Amino acid sequence: MAIRTIREEGDEILKKVSKPVEVIDEKIKELIEDMLETMHKYNGVGLAAVQVGVLKRVITIDLYDENPPIILINPVILKQKGEQTVEEGCLSFPNKYAKVVRPKEVEVEGLDASGKKIKVKGKDLLAQALAHEIDHLNGEVFVEKMLPGTMEYVTPENN
């Protein structure tokens, strides 16, 4: 396991569409472990493989609650319901936060780390995180979806 470098604003890879994972091999499993470790090191709620420079459709999410982290390979949003305006940040845009409209509920289908098909239903923060990370896989970042005039810059010493 290793901490990977997070690609930040201005890196062209963040605009690219990630490719589906064809085979869940040791390389993909190592990527997932590294993503979890990297996400936890930086206290992130979610991480997409593209954010560590790998154009594969893999996301990890951890709400730091009683549930284990969510790992989804080739995730697809099947349904979304309602909307919520949320304050959002991103590990690829350090110290930047803005308001974004996200679905209130989503249902996502994908594969788990062993290749088994799973569905994840999320509300509120989980719905937000799923939508945010799946956007990354499609080359979309939250600053493109932010409500105009809501960007805030937080200097690390103010946290």
Could you list the active site residues? 133
What the block records as the tokens of 3 is 């901490």
Residue among 153, 147, 135 at smallest CA distance from 99? 147
d(CA 136, CA 156): 24
d(CA 137, CA 82): 22
The full length of the chain comes to 159
What the block records as the tokens of 104 is 């209130």
